[in-house]
Amino acid sequence: MTLTEESINDKIEIVDNGSWKSINIRKATIIKRNGIEVSRSFERRFINPTDDISNEDVDISGIATQIFTEEIKESYKKLTT
Residue ranges covered by each domain of the chain: 3-80
- Residue 24's alpha-carbon distances to 2, 31, 39, 64, in angstroms, are 33, 23, 23, 11
What pLDDT digit, counting tens, does each position of 7-66 carry? Answer: 999 999 999 988 889 999 999 999 999 999 999 999 999 999 999 999 999 999 999 999
- β-strand pairing of 21-33 with 3-16: antiparallel
* CA atoms of 58 and 66, how far apart (whole Å): 12
* CA atoms of 18 and 27, how far apart (whole Å): 25
- pLDDT(3) > 90: yes
Question: For the whole model, what pTM was predicted?
Answer: 0.85
What are the strands of the beta sheet with 21-33, ordered from one edge?
A: 3-16, 21-33, 36-47
